[in-house]
Amino acid sequence: MIAGVRQVVQVFVMAFPTQEQESFLYAHVQAFKHFGGVPERISYDNLATAVKLALDKKGHRSRQENRTFVAFRSHYLFDSHFCTPGQGHEKGQVEHGVGFSRRNFLVPIPEVASFEALNEYLLLQCLKNDARCMHGQTLTIRQAWEQERPCLRALPPFDYECCEVTTARLTPYSQVIFATNRYSVPVRRARSEVKVKAYPFHLDIFDREQLIACHPRCYGREQDIFDPLHYLPLLEQRPGAFDYAAPIRRWRKDWPECYHRMLSTLRQKWPEGRGIQEFVRILQLHEHYPATLMQEAIEQALTYGCVHLDGVLHCLHHLTEHEPSLGPLDLSDRPQLDAIGNQPVDLSRYDRLLKQSW
């Protein structure tokens, strides 16, 4: 998004996997936060996520704004202006700003691991650009923008929820299908029908008003997106399926070495499925403790030889409870108390107790 009233232009750039409407609206929300307010009017090309072009019987072009886009504008109270197709000059310096951002922020192509990392990089480039002083100006972009910021409308008390909302039925494998992809839900918590909210980068699943699952959004097709924790209660009841369950097979590839040692030790100690059940109960602790802490606790339990659920819980308690250690009590000013507990033990007292019990 490009903003500017005078000759100074401030840019805000974000990247998205697709051009779906929820991404289009979410970009607005983040831009409004970045600029510190909402402009009175925003100019657009005739993009399908906002408007539908049509010709009447006389050949005149008409526009009909998307209902969701109208609701979004009503939430932020700005007017929309759609340019004449093919008339790029109607957008002022927008085309120049887009070209400048592409050449300076995306050449060469950034090497990042995720869209989150890419957007962090782009935001940093935008902030650096704000320190630039444009040709013919005496103020930096940031300084000039601070003078124009009061012209913006105030942000509303809460953000518009930029997501696609739909309902879905659970499959026999405790999954929800959205856009051909299958997302897991907890086997013990969901009803036959749930509500799905698809945001640009993640997807939330609700049982009525209770959030029961959250996944990174997948833009592929026919993919299985698992949270292995969702299936652990079922695998505790059916330990024979542990080695063949797809969520566990995927998860095992990323396990630290200590997890494999713990599982092997439990299988040797308790065969016939009981060792797997104990290991599944240990894995369920991931719902309450971060992975790094779990790894440390399991390694500690293996070192101590307490290879079971209670042993891991004890190590977790030891790692999370940071009670200050007490130093030795100074009784130098009370010598009569200093001798208590240090005198030799008189075993004859036990002999007297034994005689009395006869």
Residue 69 has what pLDDT? 95
Percent of the chain with pLDDT over 70: 89
Q: pLDDT at position 249, please? A: 95
pLDDT at 298: 97
| Residue 249, both tokens | 């097979």
User: Does the pLDDT at position 329 exceed 80?
Assistant: no
pLDDT at 127: 92
| Mean pLDDT of the chain, nearest integer | 88
Cα distances (Å, whole numbers) of residue 100 to 107, 132, 141, 147, 155: 10, 13, 14, 23, 28
pLDDT of the residue at 89 = 66
pLDDT at res. 82: 86
Question: Rounded to whole angstroms, what are the CA distances from 2 to 28, 86, 107, 190, 254?
Answer: 11, 19, 19, 44, 42
- Distance between CA atoms of 125 and 149, rounded to whole angstroms? 20
pLDDT, mean of residues 63-67: 89
CATH homologous superfamily for 2-151? Ribonuclease H-like superfamily/Ribonuclease H (3.30.420.10)
Task: For the chain, give the percent of residues with pLDDT over 90.
Answer: 63
- Which long-range contacts link 88-92 to residues 24+ away (Cβ below 8 Å)? 90/43, 91/43, 91/45, 92/43
201 vs 333 pLDDT, higher one: 201
For the segment 132-156, the average pLDDT, to the nearest whole number, is 87
Determine the residue type at 322: H
Give the model's pLDDT for residue 58: 64
| Range from 77-81, 247-251, 341-345 carrying the lowest mean pLDDT | 341-345
Residue 167, SS3 per DSSP: strand
The runs of H, that is alpha helices, within the chain are 21-35, 67-76, 94-105, 115-130, 141-148, 232-237, 246-252, 257-269, 274-283, 291-304, 309-320, 335-338, 348-357
pLDDT at res. 91 = 67
Instruction: Give the pLDDT score at 25.
Output: 96
Distance CA 106, CA 189 (A): 45
Read off the pTM. 0.80
Q: Which of 40-44, 119-123, 324-328, 329-333 has the highest mean pLDDT?
A: 119-123
- The structural domains of the chain, with segments of one domain joined by +, span 2-151, 164-225, 231-320
pLDDT 10s digits, 180-226:
999 999 998 766 899 999 999 999 999 988 999 999 999 999 999 99
Can you tell me the mean pLDDT for 20-47?
Answer: 93
Task: With a cut of 50, say whether residue 5 has pLDDT above it.
Answer: no
Angle CA(113)–CA(118)–CA(123) in degrees, nearest 5?
155
